[in-house]
Chains A and B, each alone.
Chain A
Amino acid sequence: MVPLHWYLLLSSAVFVVGVAGFLTRRNIIIMFMSIELMLNAVNISLVSFSRYLSDMRGQVLVFFVIAVAAAEAAIGLAIIIALFRNKATAHVDEANEMKG
């Protein structure tokens, strides 16, 4: 049987890739996909905890995370469309009105 630590290492690796993508990319759509990557990484660790601790609550939590991710994607994409309508760009560093 695969040790639990392997799953946790995989989860942290995917999470860190998501963080790196969010911090370095300019395109807001790719940044949103990085957030989805991070959510998936957390889901992997929750499911593996659920399996290795013989507790189904982890999977219930993943169910909720997926529902919230769907809501977040809908709102975020609406914000992207509003940004594109006002600025005609998908690059976050060109949306700098709030900069002091």
Chain B
Amino acid sequence: MMAEGIFIYLAAAIVILSVLVITRSNPVHSMITMLVLFFHIAALYVTLNAEFLAAIQVIVYAGAILVLFLFVVLLLNLKEEMVARRYIGPWPLGVLAALGLLVVIVLSLKSFIPGPSGVFTTEVVRAETNTKVLGQILFTEYLYPFEVVSMILLVAIIGAIVLAKKRLRN
């Protein structure tokens, strides 16, 4: 009963906050709302026994990505944003398309059949700790994708510098 209550609070807060994120006219307000949203998602991860990902959610999403967004918003002068139109002209079409997608997803959830269970039950993970188990899988089975991700991050660093720097000539 306790778990259901916590889930219902977190789910309601997450949905309401995400609707607030996409409807605020001031981007800074959106961003603060998103910060609270990320903390709620981290709490949801804790209820799912994913402590490492909860920490990563707070450190990387709330700490790094959101601060990057905030820097860009403060760098750009968005004074006219408060009074400008928030939505595109045919916005009901966009909402309609999104609601259609929701209907399709919810209907397809009915025919969902879970696959066979793995070996990492709650007891096994609790004996080894979540971070240790995750690290063992990450650095053995997923070592090659891990190296590819480091390459993607390198490309992102170089690409961001190339895109954002001023042209040297003219």
Scoring A23, A50, A71, A72 by chain B CB atoms within 10 A of each residue's CB, the highest score goes to A23
Given contacts A24-B95, A27-B81, contact A40 B53 (CB under 8 A): no
Q: Is the CB of A23 within 8 A of B97?
A: yes
How many interface residues does chain B have, given as a range?
A: 35 or more
Q: Is the interface of B mostly helix, strand, loop or mixed?
A: helix
Q: Is the CB of A33 within 8 A of B101?
A: no
Q: Is the interface of A mostly helix, strand, loop or mixed?
A: helix
Residues on the B chain within 8 Å of A21, using CB: 21-22
**Interface bits B120-154 vs A (CB < 8 Å: 1, else 0):** 11100100001001100110011001000100110
Question: Closest B-chain residue to A68, C-beta based?
Answer: B152
Whether a CB of chain A sits under 8 angstroms from the CB of B83 is no
Q: Is the CB of B138 within 8 A of A63?
A: yes
Q: Is the CB of B72 within 8 A of A81?
A: yes
Q: Is the CB of B152 within 8 A of A67?
A: yes
